Amino acid sequence: MNSEKKERREAQLAKKAEAIKAYASKVVMTDKTHLTIDGRPYELLVNFHEGFDLEKLEERFSDILTKYDYIVGDMGFDQLRLHGFYKNGSKKGLPSQNITRLQDYLFEYCNFGCPYFVLRNLEVQKQQPSSALDKELYGNERPNKGHKTTTVSKNRKHRQRKRKPKNTPYTTEKTYAVHSRKKKQPTRTKRENKHANKRHFVIRQK
């Protein structure tokens, strides 16, 4: 049983390694301080305690990091963690994402004295606009903004048409209020009948 579990475990690890390798990025060192990641140029600025590991960088790198001016990688429990920072003076992101806050990040999130490295992105990729992202995700099936505005305007007109009949119940209520005043007439007839009865009663007393 133990041998079977060991074989299954090894098969799972091998399958996982193949999947990681299939989705891994390609890192090529052009010299000691310059490299390319998936064809994009980077510069190795800091390599503290030999924290730069090419193989781990290939496994952990993601395209989302291409929008940052700097990429910081720190090692903890034999795992590489990557974090993006913007250049000094940039209005992008939060203040904590500025490269001037690097020491604060290392003190707060990294183990004391842990190996780390800093890469400078020499070719920052601009973020795609929402329309380009929609086309990439949904293709031509997603309606454009012009179609949305037309549908919204049609819905508004449809609502306005529905609201018009609401005025008719209000006019009928007014007419009912006028008719309700005429209902006071039966009280007069009752009084006249009482008065007539009194006269008839007087006639019987002869």
Return d(Cα 105, Cα 121) in angstroms, integer: 19
Residue ending a domain, choose from 126, 150, 182: 126
**Are 139 and 155 members of one domain?**
yes
> What CATH number corresponds to the domain at position 16?
3.50.4.20
Higher-pLDDT residue of 25, 200: 25
Taking residues 17-45, what's their average pLDDT? 85
**Are 39 and 96 members of one domain?**
yes
Which range of residues forms the domain containing residue 188?
Answer: 133-193
Please indicate, yes or no, if residue 178 is contained in any of the structural domains: yes
Q: Please say if the pLDDT value at position 33 is more than 50.
A: yes
Q: Which amino acid is at 159?
A: R
Q: Please say if the pLDDT value at position 202 is more than 60.
A: no
Please indicate, yes or no, if residue 81 is contained in any of the structural domains: yes
Return d(Cα 184, Cα 174) in angstroms, integer: 18
Taking residues 108-121, what's their average pLDDT? 92
CB atoms within 10 A of CB 92: 13
pLDDT digits (tens, 9 = 90+) for 56-87: 999 999 999 999 999 999 998 888 999 999 99
Please indicate, yes or no, if residue 67 is contained in any of the structural domains: yes
pLDDT digits (tens, 9 = 90+) for 134-154: 554 445 554 454 444 455 555
Residue 12 pLDDT class (50, 70, 90 cuts): confident
Q: Range with the lowest mean pLDDT among 3-17, 55-69, 108-122?
A: 3-17
Mean pLDDT of the chain: 74
Return d(Cα 9, Cα 11) in angstroms, integer: 5
Q: Please say if the pLDDT value at position 39 is more than 50.
A: yes
**Are 92 and 181 members of one domain?**
no
C-alpha pair distances (Å), 125 with each of 64, 65, 73, 121, 157: 9, 9, 19, 9, 44
Q: Which amino acid is at 129?
A: P
Residue 38: per-residue pLDDT: 93
**Are 116 and 176 members of one domain?**
no
**Are 187 and 153 members of one domain?**
yes
pLDDT digits (tens, 9 = 90+) for 154-198: 566 556 665 655 554 544 455 555 555 555 555 555 555 555 455
C-alpha pair distances (Å), 93 with each of 61, 85, 104: 20, 9, 16
Please indicate, yes or no, if residue 199 is contained in any of the structural domains: no
* Beta carbons of 29 and 44 less than 8 angstroms apart: no
* Beta carbons of 115 and 51 less than 8 angstroms apart: yes
Please indicate, yes or no, if residue 204 is contained in any of the structural domains: no
How many domains is the chain built from? 2
Residue 124: per-residue pLDDT: 87
Residue 138: per-residue pLDDT: 46
